[in-house]
Each structure stands twice: as C-alpha cells, then as structure tokens.
Structure 1
Amino acid sequence: MKQKFDVVVVGAVGIDTNVYLKSDAVNFEVEANFTENIDYIGMAGGYSSRGFAKLGKKTAFIGYVGNDYKGRYIMDELRSDRIDITGVFFDPYGTKRSVNLIFKDGTRKTFYDGKGSMYVSPDLKLCRKILSKTRLAHFNIVNWSRYLLPIAKELGLVISVDIQDIVDINDEYRKDYIEAADVLFFSCVNFDSPVPFIEKFLQNNPDRVVVSGMGKKGCVLGTKAGIKFYPAVELDDPVVDTTGAGDSLAVGFLSSYFLDGYSLEDSILRGQIAARYCCSKKASSSELITKEKLDKYFSKFKT
C-alpha cells in the first residue's frame, strides 16, 4: 500500500495543567500558594504528534480521548495541525489529565491521571490500516499501545519507543516495548548514569539506536559502534519549562535521521536543539519548533 504518512504516533494525549511556582518550593505551612496555572494539550503523544507536524511531516495519531469537552477540543486542535485523527478513539473514563508542578528552574513533578488507559483496547483492524500507510511508528508506553507492537513489527516498520523515566532496568511493564524497539529513547532523570541501561539495551539488540536525555548534562547516543556523550546546547532564551523536552528530542532526532537523511551526529544535534527550544516556552505543545527555525539554529551550530 502506498505510504500516506511520514510517521504514525501511538500514545497518550490529554490536557496538562502546568502550575508555575513563584517561589522556590511549595509552602505547606499555609493553605494558599500563588501560582500561574496554564492548561494546554500535553502528554507524550500530544507533544510528539504536534512536534512532527510542526516540522512539516505528514503525521497520523492513534490514541484515546474522552467523549467530553476536553476530548473534542483536543481533536479539533489536532485537526487544525493537519494531523490525521482517524485512529483517535473514545475512552469511557474520560480525557486524560496531568498536573505538572513547575519549579523556577524549569524542572517539574508530574501527577498523571491516565483514565482508562489500563482497560481500553484499540480497534486493531483500523490501527493496522493506519500503520500500513507509514514506515515509521513512534510509540509511547501507555498500556493499550503494546497491542499494536506486533502489528508494527509484522508490517516491517521502523519502531521507535520512548520508555520515558525508567527506574528499574528489568521493569516488566516496559519489557515488550524494549524488545520491539529499533530506536529506544529514555530519560535518566531517576539515576546518575545511563551507561548500564544502554549497555543492557544494546546487548539485547546490537543493531538498535539508543538515545537518552540528560537534561543540563546533554544527551547520550548508544549504538554498536559505542556510547558517545554530547554536551547540552544553549539558546538565548532561558529554560522555563522542561515539559515535552524528551518528546522534542525524539521528534527532532527521528525526523532528521529517518525522514530527512541526516547523519546520526547531526540528528542528535537537531534533536537537542528541538528539546532546548521546547524548554524555553511555557506550556509549549502549540509553540514547538518549526522546520525553518530548526534549520536556522542547526546552521548556526554547524558554522
């Protein structure tokens, strides 16, 4: 079947409420803390699908929203981004929500409400039809998405998976995602060194590409050629919100390496630029980097 999409994103989308603290920490000795609170479309699937679309990629999204105001708003916004939502289903438990407590340095604590994610089952026939129209599928680890991994594998797609803030290298929840991935992204926010994780992931599949975001320390790339660390890139605007940075790193890398033909090293740089740009915006899924801006920043870093 002729390809219709550059990428299909499979994952979670919902409404995020970012709570920006005006002080360094929550004061639990008083009832009220004064903050800036912003609602927007978020979560890994929201950021990833909108990120690819901003870069001009023909994008389809497979996910769930509630049959409610928030869900209809999300579908309208994705349509306006020219993202195909044929694979968006209704979750009887409602639209997912997250509350992200954002500290003054841009770091965060997230409180995630996945609604019916552990119980719903997607229409596999329809999902197969959508996945058959692409060569690249980017998966988030919302529970129901695991049922689409065998389909993507059978269709011979490049399977990218973001296992996010992993804690246990032997985590059973993430096991089938890791086994299926040709490209694996993860955050090392919960530990000091990503090296043992990368070594384990490459041991299971030496041909895969592994990318880990390290925040202020930059990021690291693991392949059968070895493990290489890259320093963080800096832009003029300060870091105000790290929400979506990992998704932007993945989008920038995948679009550059698999869709635009850049080298691994250049694709890492472009992914880092996309991530750093995301961090300079508050509640930023509608303000992610465009292809024109990414190309401009990339040229600047390369000269």
Structure 2
Amino acid sequence: MKNILVAGLINIETTIGINQFPIEYTPIDYKFFGLESTVSGVGYNVAKALKTLGAETQLLSLIGRDMYEGVIKGELKKEGIGSSFVKATLSQIPQSVVLYDDAGTRKIYLDLKDIQDKSYPFNDEENMLDEVDLVVACNINFSRDLLEKAKRLGKLIASDVHVISNIEDEYNKDYMAYADILFLSNENILGKEEEFIKEIAEKYENEIIVIGMGSQGTLLYVKADAKVTYMPAVNTRKIVSTIGAGDALFSSFIYFYCKDKDPYDSLKKAIYFASYKIGEKGAASGFLSEKELINLIGQ
C-alpha cells in the first residue's frame, strides 16, 4: 500500500447520548455509560480510518502540552499511526462535545483553542514529503503551508472542505485550488448540488470532486470523463450517530483510489464503509479493515 501523509486536527471528543432535540431543561441527567471521551479530530479520524483499512499512514498535527498529550501519543502508538510529525506546541489541546439522539442526529460544539493562530514548524522536516504518495490536507490553518510544497513536488493532494456555500469561500479557496481530489458536504447547498459541483470543476479544474449528501447519497465528478454521476446511499446497520460519516467516506475513497485509480469503484466502497461506521457513536470508531469491508459488500 502507498504511503499517505495526513495533515489535520487532533482533539479530545466527548460524546453524549440524549433522548431528543430540542433538549428539555432539567438540572441533572444521569447517563450511565452514556458519556465517553476519546481521541478524535478530522486528522486523527482520517489517519485511523486509513490505517485500519491497511495504508501506511503518517499524521502531521499540533497538540497541546497538557494532561491529554500523553493520552494522544499513547493512542497513536496503539493504532500504529506514525506520529513523528505531531508537535506539542499548543498550550491546550482542542476539544469537542457531540450530542446525538436516537435518530442519529448530532450537534457539535468545537473549541479549537488557539490552534488557528499557530503555524507548523516545517524547517526541521523539509524531506517529509519525499516518500509520500498522497498528501491529505485537512482544512485547518496549519496545513495550508503544506499545499504549495506538495504541489511543487508533484504529490497527489486530497482535501475535504466540509460545509461551504460559495466557490469563492475565502477560508477554503486554497484547499479547493490545490486539491486533485476534493470532498465537500451539501448541507449549505441543498437542491443546488449538481450546479455547484460543475461551478467548482470549471473554476478549480480538480480531477475528482465528491459531494456527500448523507442519506441522499453522493455526487461524483470525474474530470477525465467530464460528467457527474449520482450514487445512492446504502444501509448496513442501525444508525447510532452520523458524526464522522464524511471523514469515513473521504478516507475510504482515498484508500481505494490510491490502490486502483478507479473513482467509481472507490466511491462505491467508501459509501459502504461510511454506512457501517455510523453504527457507532464516536467519530473515530466503527472503521473496517479492507477485508472486512469487502466481505460486507459481498453480503
């Protein structure tokens, strides 16, 4: 399997199961085994999913010098994710709280601390990209400087800009411009997905664009074929929480595309991978190995 470098966020995530939205006020609720804190964040989620599938994965990130530093490093070691590019330069690690109900709907509170004001110290690691086949640049500020370096070296670049509504989005336009493989969500472009994907393709000339539409499926644009293809969603088990579904779809697509260069088959497999993942509550849980996924699809 090819080597993949993931540059993205690591945070501590606390998940809380609730009865329903909106939340009825009560002074206290007892949730026996209903709260859980784990290592998460888009960068970690993607790296862990890729590693579980079978990729050789390095994670580039910034973490805090606080009580969670050892926890994070321990989890990276346990999962076999390369962490030599994870630097403890923040005063505190970012944190998130995720509320989810029985229907799988979720509400996320994300505290990035001061990570958006920090740069990654690239000076000591100018050769980090030499053995890398694919760079996954998550849209967190410190990964922005990696885009030009990777492009200059001819590396394949993948990025997920998540929820946007404007192809000129000031924060995300660098990622859209540099990405060979671009993912995004339809949450802010409902009903305009096909028009939007064509506008992005015309402006940024990405090789592949995928719009995730949740239970409505996905749209795939392939530049080489000059067409947009719709792929339906699948149901593989009961939905617990949709948190991390987009990260799972993105990760699995990248994994199989690196292997076979077939965007259509890669997205089909990614849809199954993401469907199975949302049967668990945490954003960094519910991942399958390649063998497990192929067996699931075969069923």
What is the Cα deviation at residue 131 of structure 1? 2.1
CA distance in 1, matches of 2:261, 2:144: 29
CA distance in 2, matches of 1:178, 1:214: 19
Q: How does 1:79-98 map to 2 (within 5 A)?
A: 79-98=77-96
Aligned to 2:199: 200
Q: Mean Cα displacement is larger for which, 137-146 or 190-199?
A: 190-199
Aligned to 1:135: 133
Q: Is the 8 A contact 2:167 2:173 kept in 1?
A: no
Aligned to 1:31: 27
CA distance in 2, matches of 1:284, 1:172: 27
Aligned to 2:210: 211
Q: How does 1:40-189 map to 2 (within 5 A)?
A: 40-189=38-187
CA distance in 2, matches of 1:141, 1:262: 24
Q: Is the 8 A contact 1:104 1:240 kept in 2?
A: yes
CA distance in 2, matches of 1:299, 1:238: 19
CA distance in 1, matches of 2:155, 2:69: 29
Helix, strand or coil for the counterpart of 1:229?
A: strand
TM-score with structure 1 length normalisation?
0.91
How has the CA–CA distance of structure 1 residues 166 and 128 changed in structure 2, closer, same or farther, with 3 Å as cutoff? farther
CA distance in 1, matches of 2:96, 2:206: 35
CA distance in 1, matches of 2:69, 2:285: 16
How has the CA–CA distance of structure 1 residues 31 and 127 changed in structure 2, closer, same or farther, with 3 Å as cutoff? farther
CA distance in 2, matches of 1:253, 1:131: 21
What is the Cα deviation at residue 138 of structure 1? 0.8
Q: Mean Cα displacement is larger for which, 34-43 or 155-164?
A: 34-43
Aligned partner of 2:16 among 6, 16, 19: 19
Amino acid at match of 1:197: F
Within the alignment, does 1:293 sit opposite 2:289 as a pair? no
How has the CA–CA distance of structure 1 residues 167 and 70 changed in structure 2, closer, same or farther, with 3 Å as cutoff? farther
CA distance in 2, matches of 1:128, 1:197: 37
Amino acid at match of 1:20: G
Taking only the aligned residue pairs, the percentage that are identical comes to 28
Helix, strand or coil for the counterpart of 1:86?
A: strand
What is the Cα deviation at residue 174 of structure 1? 0.5
Helix, strand or coil for the counterpart of 2:294?
A: helix
What is the Cα deviation at residue 207 of structure 1? 4.7
What is the Cα deviation at residue 70 of structure 1? 1.3
Q: Is the 8 A contact 2:278 2:286 kept in 1?
A: no
CA distance in 1, matches of 2:148, 2:271: 30
Aligned to 2:232: 231
Helix, strand or coil for the counterpart of 1:265?
A: helix
Which consecutive unaligned segments of at least 5 residues does structure 2 have?
Answer: none
Amino acid at match of 1:290: S
Which consecutive unaligned segments of at least 5 residues does structure 1 have?
Answer: none
What is the Cα deviation at residue 286 of structure 1? 4.2
CA distance in 2, matches of 1:174, 1:75: 29
Helix, strand or coil for the counterpart of 1:159?
A: strand
What is the Cα deviation at residue 31 of structure 1? 2.9
How has the CA–CA distance of structure 1 residues 278 and 166 changed in structure 2, closer, same or farther, with 3 Å as cutoff? same
How has the CA–CA distance of structure 1 residues 106 and 42 changed in structure 2, closer, same or farther, with 3 Å as cutoff? same
User: Cα RMSD between the aligned structures?
Assistant: 1.8
Q: Give a deviation string over 1:88-140, Cα, whole Å, max 9, x none.
A: 01133311101112122112111111122222111213443222221101111
Helix, strand or coil for the counterpart of 1:210?
A: strand
CA distance in 1, matches of 2:119, 2:92: 15
How has the CA–CA distance of structure 1 residues 202 and 91 changed in structure 2, closer, same or farther, with 3 Å as cutoff? same
